[in-house]
Amino acid sequence: MNTIKNVKSGVASFIVSGKARLVILVITLALFVLAAGAPGASGGVGD
């Protein structure tokens, strides 16, 4: 029971930590760049 509580609090503290924010920022930015300007797929040309 205590182990579960420790894991839960560990996860919760990670989510609000600076590292988690940075991970979220980088993932969001990567998705943004892909969605806004995914380079023209060369695959469609040669198919």
Q: Which residues contact another protein (rule: CB under 8 A)?
A: 18-19, 21-22, 24-26, 28-47
Closest CB 23 distance from another protein, rounded Å: 9
Please give the Cα distance from 10 to 8 (Å, whole number).
5
Closest CB 32 distance from another protein, rounded Å: 5
Nearer to another protein, 12 or 22 (CB): 22
Q: What is the dihedral of CA 38, 40, 45, 46, to 10 degrees?
A: -60
Expressed in angstroms, the distance from the first to the final Cα of the chain is 56
Nearer to another protein, 2 or 42 (CB): 42
